[in-house]
């Protein structure tokens, strides 16, 4: 059984994001980049399924600039067997990524596609659902538990009223939530081993995919700065300020 795991290179979650002076986007010059945390959970889950003997091969996929090779090497250090980089300098939007992944699903024929529910840079939460629609595959989103059988996969997901368990026939698409697992610490020996693993590079046009942007970002601005807090003498003053100044009651 083969598992495809798409991963994305994003600004590290510990970094304070800065907006460009011309408000055209986020400044990523000289900024630490890393794997999207939800995708890291997806790689970990795929590797755990392989360690249980349920999966034979884990393939990591990344779409973007040449530096995405670093993200793929991290995925292989976690335990992915090989990687594919779809290299392009074009700003990729969810639909374009989903089309690329659909082409790779047709080519690789994986039994399972596991990807993060969303990326922490655009928070779109669209790629997994679009991929399932384009490939006409069953999907389960926000997975907090995955149990794989011969030709079925059971996915537990958190909903407003508690837990919901879905059973999907393979092949299928799963997007991961935070509580699915805790990714392992990548050790130096595994980082060294990852350098020797296979990493193939293709272009979107090689896959017959048009990745031209369909959405245009008009402006990116930082949120308004919060004002300093104040102390009030009594409850009556607090209620008065909440009602007349903050206007929240």
Kindly list the structural domains of the chain, giving each domain's residue range(s) and its CATH number in brackets, ordered by start.
2-244 (3.40.50.620)
Instruction: Read off the tokens for 152.
Output: 């079925």
Q: Is the pLDDT of residue 15 over 90?
A: no
CB 40 within 8 A of CB 62: no
Instruction: Read off the tokens for 27.
Output: 């400044």
Instruction: Read off the tokens for 114.
Output: 């596991």
pLDDT at res. 105 = 96
Give first-to-last CA distance, the chain, whole Å. Answer: 57
pLDDT per residue over 137-179, tens digit each? Answer: 999 999 999 999 878 999 999 888 889 999 999 999 999 999 9
Phi, psi of 244 (to 5 degrees): -100, -30
DSSP-derived letter for residue 240 is H
Residue 139 region, left (φ>0) first, then alpha (ψ -120 to 50), else beta?
Answer: beta
pLDDT at res. 42 = 96
CB 5 within 8 A of CB 116: no
Non-local CB neighbours of 169 within 8 Å, separated by 6+ positions: 138, 151, 152
CA 53 to chain centre: 25
Non-local CB neighbours of 248 within 8 Å, separated by 6+ positions: 242
Q: What is the percentage of the chain residues whose pLDDT exceeds 90?
A: 73
Question: 74 has which bridge partners?
Answer: none
Instruction: Read off the tokens for 8.
Output: 């994305």
pLDDT per residue over 38-88, tens digit each? Answer: 999 999 999 999 999 999 999 999 999 999 999 999 999 999 999 999 999
């Amino acid at each position: 059984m083969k598992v495809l795991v798409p991963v994305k290179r994003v600004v590290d979650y510990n970094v304070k994001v800065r907006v460009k002076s011309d408000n055209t986007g986020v400044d990523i010059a000289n900024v630490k980049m890393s794997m999207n945390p939800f995708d890291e959970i997806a790689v970990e889950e795929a590797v755990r399924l392989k360690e249980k003997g349920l999966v034979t091969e884990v393939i990591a996929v990344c779409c973007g600039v040449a530096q995405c090779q670093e993200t793929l090497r991290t995925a292989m250090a976690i335990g992915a067997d090989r990687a594919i980089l779809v290299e392009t300098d074009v700003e990729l939007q969810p639909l374009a990524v989903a089309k690329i992944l659909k082409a790779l699903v047709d080519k690789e024929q994986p039994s399972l596609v596991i990807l993060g529910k969303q990326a922490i840079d655009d928070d779109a939460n669209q790629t997994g659902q679009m991929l399932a629609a384009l490939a006409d595959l069953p999907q389960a989103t926000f997975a907090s538990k995955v149990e794989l059988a011969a030709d079925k996969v059971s996915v537990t997901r958190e909903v407003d009223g508690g837990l919901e368990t879905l059973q999907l026939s393979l092949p299928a698409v799963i997007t991961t939530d935070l509580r699915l697992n805790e990714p392992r610490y990548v050790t130096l020996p595994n980082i060294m081993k990852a350098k020797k693993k296979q990493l193939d590079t293709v272009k979107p046009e090689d896959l017959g995919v048009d990745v031209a942007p369909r959405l245009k970002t008009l402006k990116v601005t930082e949120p308004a700065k919060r004002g300093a807090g104040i102390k009030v003498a009594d409850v009556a003053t607090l209620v008065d300020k909440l009602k007349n100044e903050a206007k929240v009651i």
